[in-house]
Amino acid sequence: MKQALVIGGGPAGLMAAEELARAGIAVTLAEAKPTLARKFLMAGKSGLNLTKEEPLEAFLSHYSHPQIAAITRAFGPVEVQSFARDLGVELFTGSTGRVFPVEMKASPMLRAWIARLERLGVTIHTRWRWQGFDGEALIFDTPEGRQTLTPDTTVLALGGASWPRLGSDAEWVAWLAAKGVTLSPFQPANMGFAIDWSIHMAKLLGQPVKGAALITPTRRTRGEFVISARGLEGGGIYELSAELRDGAPLALDLVPDLSIEDLATRIAKLPPKQSLSNRLRKAGKLDPVKLALALEWGRPMPNEPAELAATLKSLPVPLGPPRPLAEAISSAGGIAWDSLTGDLELTGLPGVFAAGEMVDWEAPTGGYLLTACLATGRHAGRAAAKRLTPSS
């Protein structure tokens, strides 16, 4: 029987292992950590966002590379939901279109998935840390000592470089580089940005900002984010993080449902002897968090109603640098596309495939990341199986 090796026990690796096993191939899955899918489980602590229900073309537009979009087209939101339901996971769709398990957690889905892999005959080894190549063989440090495997095909699904404590430590970069694989430098993705807050903001740390529009030179979005001691974090910021990381300016529209003219008219109707805070709060119906941001970043405030309205409608955000890679939800960079075939096979290592965040792509949170990890694992697993069973 043909032998396949999958290195990495996150969603991409588990999906690749399942596809190989379904093709009748003996599969060994090696995971460096004591348990599988630690980052997947961590994501589930705040509610596991599996995917998002929206028109497919809109969904695919969130991916940074056309090849990832093409792969995800074949296994997108509809297929992810069917996959989860086949594991016995009941789902619901929130008001924003995001899809979650009813239980919200990742652990029930993971347990069901592991049980199915075991029924398919997948051999799972934990605490098996890949240590690179010895000629054509792959070397592992294991509780039983050094192990050397020479599979017929291998799928690498070792993650990117974010959250290294959960297993994505990018130790593999040196081993692939030594084999001539082209790698793009890792950068943080879906991360927060530093802000140098004044002492007046201390009482608002941890508070969400709701109902504001975020504006860059290319986009205008609505998304919630959080004021933290370190700066700004949360989904609204993460959605724009790639553009902001590359230096794009950010502004906030604190009153997105009013035109600048209507807001100026409201401001003009208020008695000018009222305090600036009261005029802003009443005219724009600003909650304490939005009012604090306006006062934090809008000074010196103009007096004219039209100028005040313009400030509230386009409040510049003094972003500092992105938070470090180790704190980012995901990473950009990794195996460059010119080192991969359309099947995600490494051009310089025939029979070795890559999936998940190892490959150079990025997408925002909100179900896009996880969907593409599953899709690339499926794609690489099927391609590896086809290589071993070309007539199937």
Q: What pLDDT, on the 0 to 100 scale, is given for residue 272?
A: 79
Q: How far is CA 350 from CA 89, 159, 378, in A?
A: 37, 20, 18
pLDDT bracket for residue 392 (50, 70, 90): low
Provide mean pLDDT across the span 360-380.
Answer: 96
Q: How far is CA 53 from CA 202, 263, 366, 373, in A?
A: 38, 34, 10, 17
Provide mean pLDDT across the span 179-183.
Answer: 96
pLDDT bracket for residue 61 (50, 70, 90): very high
**Confidence check: pLDDT of 103 > 60:** yes
Provide mean pLDDT across the span 122-130.
Answer: 97
**Confidence check: pLDDT of 43 > 90:** no
Q: What is the pLDDT of residues 110-119, one digit of tens each?
A: 999 999 999 9
CA angle 142, 145, 147 (to 5 degrees): 70
The yes/no answer on whether domain 3-188+328-388 falls in CATH 3.30.565.40 is no
Q: Going along 32-128, which residue ranges are E strands?
A: 51-52, 91-93, 98-101, 123-126
**Confidence check: pLDDT of 21 > 90:** yes
Q: What pLDDT, on the 0 to 100 scale, is given for residue 345?
A: 98
Q: What is the pLDDT of residues 204-238, one digit of tens each?
A: 999 999 999 999 999 999 989 999 999 999 999 99
Q: Is 108 helix (H, G, I), strand (E, B) or coil?
A: helix
Q: What pLDDT, on the 0 to 100 scale, is given for residue 279?
A: 87
238 close to 365: Cβ distance less than 8 angstroms: yes
Closest CA to 11 of 183, 159, 221: 159
Question: Phi and psi dihedrals of 135, rounded to 5?
Answer: 70, -120
Q: How far apart are CA 356 and CA 129, in angstroms?
A: 18
Q: What is the DSSP string of 19-31?
A: HHHHTT-EEEEEE
Q: Going along 281-365, which residue ranges are E strands?
A: 315-317, 330-335, 352-354
**Confidence check: pLDDT of 391 > 80:** no
pTM of the model: 0.92
Provide mean pLDDT across the span 182-188.
Answer: 96
Q: Is 85 helix (H, G, I), strand (E, B) or coil?
A: helix
Q: What is the pLDDT of residues 158-180, one digit of tens each?
A: 999 998 888 889 999 999 999 99
| Structure tokens belonging to residue 317 | 């955000």
Q: What is the pLDDT of residues 261-299, one digit of tens each?
A: 999 999 999 887 888 888 889 988 999 999 999 999 998
Which residues of the chain does CATH 3.50.50.60 include? 3-188+328-388
Q: Say if residue 300 is preceded by a cis peptide, omega within 30 of 0.
A: yes
Bigger pLDDT: 146 or 270? 146
Q: Is 202 helix (H, G, I), strand (E, B) or coil?
A: helix
| Structure tokens belonging to residue 330 | 């995901």
Q: How many of the other CB atoms lie within 10 Å of CB of 238?
A: 23
Bigger pLDDT: 191 or 47? 191
Q: What pLDDT, on the 0 to 100 scale, is given for residue 46?
A: 80
Q: How far apart are CA 148 and CA 105, in angstroms?
A: 36
Lowest mean pLDDT of 255-259, 297-301, 347-351, name the range. Answer: 297-301
User: What share of the chain in percent tops pLDDT 90?
Assistant: 87
Q: What is the pLDDT of residues 70-102, one digit of tens each?
A: 999 999 999 999 999 999 999 999 998 999 999
CA dihedral 206, 211, 217, 219 (to 10 degrees): 110
What mean pLDDT is reported for the chain?
Answer: 94
